[in-house]
Amino acid sequence: MAANSSTGSATEPPGLETQWREIDNLNQQQLRAGDSWYLLDKRWYDQWKEYVHAGDQNSSSYPGKIDNTELYEDLESYHLKERLSENEDFVLVPAEAWHKLLSWYDMMDDQPPLERKVVDLPSTVKVEVYPVEIYLCLSSNMESTVSACFSRADKIREYRLLMDRKSIWTLKNTAESRLWMRSTDTSSERLRNLNMTVLDACLSSGMTVIMEIRNADGTWPTSRPQIMRNSADEDSYRGPPGVCGLTNLGNTCFMNSALQCLSNTPPLTEYFLRNSYLEELNFTNPLGMKGEIAEAYADVIKQMWSGRHYSVVPRVFKTKVGHFASQFLGYQQHDSQELLSFLLDGLHEDLNRVKKKEYIELRDADGRPDQEVAEEAWRNHLRRNDSVIVDTFHGLFKSTLVCPECNKVSVTFDPFCYLSVPLPVSKERVMEVFYVSLDPTAKPTQYRLIVPKAGRVIDLCTALSQATGVPPNQMAVADVFNHRFYRIYQADESLSCILDRDDIFVYQLSSGCVDQEGEEVVMAIYMRERSHYRDYGSGSNSYSTSLFGHPLLISVPRAQCTREDLYQLLLKRLAPSSEGEERAEEEESSSEPDRGSSTEEGQSASGSTDTNSQDATDGDQSAGVEPSGKEEEDEDEDEEEEEEAASCAQANKRLPGRRRYTERQKKALFTIQAVNSNGTTERGMGEADAQPYIAIDWDPDMKKKYYNENEAEKYIKHQSMDVPHQQITVQLQECIELFTTVETLEEENPWYCPTCKKHQLATKKLDLWSLPEVLIIHLKRFSYTKYSREKLDTIVEFPLRDLDFSGFLLKKTVNSTEPPCRYDLISVSNHYGGLRDGHYTSYARNKDNGQWYYFDDSKVTYAREEQITSAAYLLFYQRQDKIRQPSVPPPVPSSSQPENHVSSQTHDGMDGASSCVSMETD
């Protein structure tokens, strides 16, 4: 079935239970390479699940046509948005399930299906949501490029086949060619192995592949396609060793940031530059990676410290990481700390000097002195783990567990490679909402509110009440999405179900939502525009409609829930004064002949009686309805009105309690129709529903003349939006204190008490015993619970020098041979942005010249110490007694240095400094 098929092509779906059973069974299919799966908007899919589980074909949760609008970058190119997350933005369904849903519900007009293939990649089989989009060009004309999409499982040879198949360029079949990959702005690399996959070649979206054709005389046009930057050839570049960027291969800033921090860790980098690793590569360790990670890392470090590159392409390293850790396959954004943890462990096992690990049974302290137990634990650790990573990064902490039932105390000493310290979690949350007043002349106002993080919707209303003076029980809160209500919240619902990116509207009601007698009804109002033509092809005689504008929530006395009363009430919400209507009726009745149409009173409410164009003239234009001069009706419009009048008259005969009267036939601004929650399926006005939904249907001509859509959707920013929320500022020492605070184990992770012989929720306390030469501190900015996911933007103030751990160490200095416990900062991994759209960079102090630099993928600039601020995520500290003085003087910035590399500003006048802190996403 075509993706943009009309509504009439949808088939009659089976029962709701059958629908759920069929789709759920199909969704259990295993992924098989080559199969097609389809992306579905998560909100539409959730709405469909709610609908089929409701068990009512007429339920208001009917999802309507499949709508993937929110997944597209725009509705012209239909390119998929970047960084969409499965089960958060979209769900994947197999082809058979997709075609069933499409045949039952149809799809929004013109939207293409989001079909994706299952690919077999190393260590995993997955649906390739984002194929690789590559630019292709000839070496003779690199300015003229064409784009093409490839799977990561495709072979490189597909590039040449594609060029031949599509006749992109006129090439002789016998023409010998070779391919180059533009690796940086300054160089290109030969793609020699055409049987290599796109994944193995580390080709990513946005990269360029250059085809070079051999000359007729057997020579090649160039030895290498030259890509110059300010006429400075990379082959002749000489710069400070280690001051080198890393090319972003596609969302790999997380990896680049971690690599820059490790690259600027002196003992580790010198170990590789001295080639010490060659003698210690462990090819037999079953926990290692056959030395491949260590060798790939060594290659990157040697290139970065050669002083011959502006930027290095870590594609081989990226490929190796993906081979041994499938979570890092592809080009999705990841956590730099997770990559660092994997890399430190991989380097340790690849370089472990212990070739055969012996089994060691760990002993509990059993009351022995801490010093004795700690020394025993460290000896046992070294019997199985001995590498440069242990030498540089491993420390020891004391773990104390106490059983809450028998008070059994268990003490162990465990090694660590980095400290993951918690951040104080705020009990408050900042939320932004749009408030819609009862006053139709008032535009919606955007407020920034502070609410309890664990609060409920009523707490949000209470906070807004303090700003507006409107009682909380006269507010209704809703999530507005795509011109409709995605969800209308109850007062006791948790605020955790509202995401920061949701558009939350709070509506003032004329009274409490629904009083005890049920005399007030809260109605949801949608704005719809009718098409000019009836949809005869669908088998009906109705007009198709499209939603626009912001919906409304209003409370209406139950006695006024008639079409005519609703019409007048809604008219006042759009145009606050109705005096003009009365004057206009008097003027028209004296100047125009009476048509003598005999109708029911209900015609006025349904839109067949004219509350003429002057309705809008006395209203404030901010409400969206505006005057547009006197309306002149032609014969076609008269015929249309009469046809509508006859149709409405027939419909209103079925409505009880209608008085018959004779009135001149006129045209209304809009008609009213009961609909479902999506504003699609028409419903009877008398049908019972927990939440009534009403659509205001505008004739296109009337909407054009009397409704100013741009004006209606404007809003005002309250002064609270101008006051930035004060971020919490804490000291690093406070985070370390939290790390050593007594806590109770969670139910998911109990401790087995050897005395009670059962699992217990024991209390646990961690204390630092000994620290390594280089101490990595991981600030736990990302909070994941069963209810929410968030990034903590708490500002952590940390010292650049003299970080003193003497107050945190249990092991006290016994003699002068003990190392000091003061540390200086040597590098920082930064994270900017939120959970899904963040960007990683790093600051690092060069070990040779002592200068700080800012690394943003391939760009490197000078940095001042005061720039190293609130975005810190990973902190690298080196013990002061191991820090050597710079071996060369710090560089003097020169204007001759290449653009986009080390900045030519002086330390006192760095115009580009601020731009280093304001980062774009990958």
Name the residues annotated as catalytic. Answer: 253, 839
427 within 8 A of 785, measured Cβ to Cβ: no
Per-residue buried b or exposed e for 420-455, using 16+ beta carbons within 10 Å of the residue's own CB: ebbbeeeeebbbbbbbbeeebeebbbebbbebebeb
Q: Long-range contacts made by residues 56-59, C-beta under 8 angstroms, separation at least 24?
A: 56/16, 57/16, 58/681, 58/683, 58/687, 59/676
Q: Where does 55-156 have alpha helices with state H?
A: 95-105
Q: How far is the C-alpha of 740 from the C-alpha of 765, rounded, in Å?
A: 6
User: Can you tell me whether residue 253 is helix, strand or coil?
Assistant: helix
Beta bridge partners of 530: 545
**Phi, psi dihedrals of residue 521, rounded to the nearest 5°:** -120, 130
Which of 246, 264, 263, 242 lies closest to 254, judged by CA? Answer: 246
Structure tokens at 596: 């003598």
- Residue count of the chain: 922
Compute, in degrees rounded to 10, the torsion defined by CA atoms 628, 633, 636, 640.
Answer: 80
Picking from 835, 851, 845, 838, the residue whose alpha carbon sits closest to that of residue 888 is 851
Neighbours of 279 (CB within 10 A): 8
DSSP state of 892: P
Two structure tokens written together for 217: 């005389």
Q: Is the dihedral of CA 910, 913, 915, 921 positive or negative?
A: positive
Distance of CA 110 to the CA centre of its chain: 26
Q: Which of 785, 781, 782, 775 is nearest to 796 (CA)?
A: 781
Q: Provide the pairing of β-strand 90-94 with 36-41.
A: antiparallel
Q: How far out from the chain centre does Cα 93 lie?
A: 21
**Distance separating alpha carbons of residues 756 and 735, to the nearest angstrom:** 34
Q: Are strands 751-753 and 774-780 parallel, antiparallel or unpaired?
A: unpaired
Checking DSSP bridges between strand 789-791 and strand 795-797, what pairing results, if any?
unpaired
Q: Which helix (H) or strand (E) holds 413?
A: strand 409-416
- Residues 6 or more apart whose CB falls under 8 angstroms from that of 587 comprise none
Q: How far apart are CA 193 and CA 559, in angstroms?
A: 79
Q: Are strands 245-246 and 141-150 parallel, antiparallel or unpaired?
A: unpaired
**Three-class SS of residue 66?**
strand
Tell me the two tokens of residue 250.
């596609």
Residue position matching structure tokens 């619902």 = 493
> Hey, is 104 helix, strand or coil?
helix
Closest by CA position to 883, among listed 834, 827, 826, 838: 826
φ/ψ of 146, rounded to 5, equals -130, 150
Query: H/E element holding 339?
Result: helix 336-350
Q: Is 535 helix (H, G, I), strand (E, B) or coil?
A: coil
Residue 809: phi and psi, rounded to 5, are -85, 130
Q: Residue 678 and residue 320: Cα distance in Å, rounded?
A: 49
Q: Are 311 and 858 in contact (CB under 8 A)?
A: yes
Measured from the Cβ of residue 218, the count of other Cβ atoms closer than 10 Å reads 7
- What is the rounded end-to-end Cα distance, in angstroms, of the chain? 37
Q: Are strands 763-770 and 795-797 parallel, antiparallel or unpaired?
A: unpaired
| Nearest of 23, 159, 30, 44 to residue 100 by alpha carbon | 23
